Amino acid sequence: MSRIPRMSGKEILQILLREGFSLSHIRGSHHYLRKSGNSSLVVISVHGNQILPHGTFRSILHQANITLTKFLNMIN
């Protein structure tokens, strides 16, 4: 099993945008993303370079329907 990377919301946002997600809207510090062909929203909390807790990171991956292995491949 791969280790969960320690990343900020800003870093995760940039990776998902690069992978085809588009910014739907921003409400406060929460950025809402959509991917074409998928009606669900992915919510990312962006607080500067603050590292997200592991549970929040896993929740973002679940909302985006991305496995940890696939996400790690997106980084590299």
Full set of structural domains in the chain with CATH: 9-75 (3.30.920.30)
pLDDT, tens digit, 9 for 90 and up, residues 36-52: 887 789 999 999 999 99
Q: What is the per-residue pLDDT for 40? A: 85
The SS3 call for residue 68 is: helix
pLDDT at 1 over 70: no
Radius of gyration, alpha carbons of the chain? 12
Mean pLDDT of all residues in 15-42: 93
Q: What is the per-residue pLDDT for 76? A: 77
CA 75 to chain CA centroid, nearest Å: 12
Q: How far apart are the two ends of the chain, measured CA to CA in Å?
A: 17
Nearest CA to 47 out of 4, 13, 3 is that of 13
Mean pLDDT of all residues in 22-43: 93
Mean pLDDT of all residues in 4-10: 95
